[in-house]
Structure 1
Amino acid sequence: MTKHIHIVKLCVGIESVEDLEHRLSLRGGDTLGHVTRMRPKQEEALLNGGSLYWVIKGAVQARQEIAALEEVIGADGIKRCRIVLKRPLIRTQNAPRRPFQGWRYLKPEDAPTDMPKGRENDDELPAELAQSLADLGLV
């Protein structure tokens, strides 16, 4: 059985998980897509249980399961990759991330855990406080 791997990506222009949820709600269907320039080489591992983890305002705060990778050709004739994402958006424990370009692979053991059942709608802590609590092992 192939191990799985995840992707982490900055969620540019989004202010909060609620903002991302609202923007996703404007799109119909059971799946969504995010187009990126580079196609992941570890496709089999991504499709074996991988998720796309969204970095919002400097911290991983949510994820979506990856359903497929599709080749798309842009209006400029350049090949790109559409990462097909399943609904719903799943909130995770906040995990600070420095800015980076594009996307990065994320090993399962390094991925933040999902929010515990019943806490998915808790108010978000300020990023600095969440980081301090995480450093102390309290969240």
Structure 2
Amino acid sequence: MKSFIVLVVVCCAIGLSESLSKEQRKEMFYKVANECATKEGGSSADVDEIAAHKPASTKGGKCVRACIFEAVGIMKNNQVDVESTANVAAMAFDGDAAKVSAARDLATACASVTDADRCEAAFKIMACGRDSAKGRGISFADL
């Protein structure tokens, strides 16, 4: 079972453009992630954790995730934006109704998760997503 961040990574990388190759989407993800790392005081190790689907181990890593969430519209005002997440998922999964529904369900399950600190909010949202996915038997390898 992969973590909720897989959804964010996929949405960020794929959702930016439907017509890009897998390699181009990966490059775009790293561009956004590295820009966020620079902006948030994160490191290349923080970006590597995201790519490896690992939870953040530093404050910088949490903030990089918050930046990515905000950049793709998944998080607004330190909370999951359910509709925006569903829209990004629709692009990321080329309209696959089952996958979009799963993304919406996970976003809805975590919609009340927040924190005054946006970095902690992103961390808590990801933990919620992981727990919610696991509780629903969702494997991101199948998404």
State TM-score, norm by structure 2.
Answer: 0.30
Name the structure with the higher strand share. 1
Give the structure-1-normalised TM-score. 0.30
- Relative to total residues, which structure has the larger helix share, 1 or 2? 2
